[in-house]
Amino acid sequence: MNQVLEQELVTEVSIESVLLDADLFVKYKSPEKAFNLLRNSIKRSPRSIPLREKLREICITHKNANDAARQCLALVSLYIGREDFDLAYDRLQEAKLLDPRISVAAGLEAIRRARRPDFAVNRDKSPVKIRTDATLAGNLAYVSLFDAVQAIENSRMTYTLSSTQDDGLNNTSNAEINGDFSREFTRNVQDRRHRIAFSGTFDTPVWLGKLRFSPLFRAGSSAPFNLGNGGDDRNLDDLSTDRLNFSGNLSDIVYREPGSPFPQQLVDQFSLAPIGARGGNLPRNSGTGPSFFTFDLNVSREFRFRERMKLRPTIEFDNILNASVFSYGAAFIDFDGIGSNASAATIQNFRDRFLVPTRTYRQRQIRLGIRFDF
């Protein structure tokens, strides 16, 4: 009995001396000696929490993120064994911050099962007959806080409310009325008032191949577009920035889908400004263009051969749905199509293209890659 107590006392004293020596090495600018001392001590006492905590602390101080993350993961197992689940969760999240490549799914599952051992013990392991006419259900008591934290921690959603205004861009940088830029100040053609982005990283279990899915979804409200008279200089100022007269409601000037009916009633409300007039009454960037969305997806799988050897094949999908997302550049209405001398072909071309976007964002693209770490 005395021999056991003496051995425990010597072990505690030796660990305290190691910690003291490590602090002295750090104080006198010899961190490598502190690293070597702590690593050798951990080899002799791999379950010593004070030694691993000290090594983690010094690694973080000296920007050694990989070793710090490795100690955090080792401490997670030790704290779970001591049923100190709060500290285990803290060290798991710290490891993820130090090395974003680390997946916390297995650690969260281990903490959850340690908190609720009855889940594994009382689970019904008898064969289950699969029904195709039933929906999925389950016992919500087994859905713990850590399940929700895992989904939230691996995903991110952002919403942006913005407003961008200017008084001219590039080829329309000259005011319609020479020098009157206050009349031009309005929404920019790139102004999308509402934007939403969702991204995340989700690791699947073994029965789904241990695949990692990283989706990126972005959506935005409509952006304005500009309407001109096709470059006809009506106010005789030698500039092609003239706009039209409009007698209707500005909210009716909305983009058309390709192949949609021609809005004859809307067209009848447009007219050219008289020769010599200061300009048309239609405000700059008064049209409402299409909304924006895109969905990209990254799928990867990691294979580990040794502690430092990893193989990760990856497949990336841009616009995985191959959706046609239309957009405007600087759009101008060419009213030559409704002039008295216009040909039938010109009139038909005008009817087909009036307010129809002629540009789209990128089509679906697929990229394959492979990464080998050693």
The CATH code of domain 2-120 reads 1.25.40.10
Distance, in Å, from the CA atom of 57 to the CA atom of 371, rounded to the nearest integer, reads 31
Is pTM beyond 0.85? Reply is: no
Residue 241 burial (10 A CB sphere; 0-12, 13-18, 19+): buried
- The answer to whether 141 and 161 have CB atoms below 8 angstroms apart is no
3-class SS string, 271-284: ECCCCCCCCCCCCC
Reply yes or no on whether the pLDDT at 294 is more than 60.
yes
- The answer to whether 328 and 359 have CB atoms below 8 angstroms apart is yes
| pLDDT band, residue 132 (cuts 50/70/90) | very low
Domain boundaries, the chain: 2-120, 152-373
User: What is the arithmetic mean of pLDDT over 197-217?
Assistant: 86
How do residues 24-38 score in pLDDT, each as one tens digit? 888 888 888 888 888
Going by their DSSP bridges, the two strands 224-225 and 245-246 should be labelled as unpaired
Q: DSSP readout, 239-265?
A: -S----EE-S-GGG-B---TTPPP-HH
Residue-level pLDDT at 342? 67
Residue-level pLDDT at 217? 92
How do residues 47-95 score in pLDDT, each as one tens digit? 888 899 888 888 888 888 888 888 888 898 888 888 888 888 888 888 8
- The answer to whether 347 and 335 have CB atoms below 8 angstroms apart is no
pLDDT greater at residue 156 or residue 312:
312
| pLDDT band, residue 196 (cuts 50/70/90) | very high
Look up residue 167 and give its DSSP letter.
Answer: S
H helix intervals, 28-84: 31-44, 49-61, 65-81
Distance, in Å, from the CA atom of 335 to the CA atom of 228, rounded to the nearest integer, reads 9
How do residues 324-354 score in pLDDT, each as one tens digit? 888 765 545 556 555 556 677 877 888 888 8
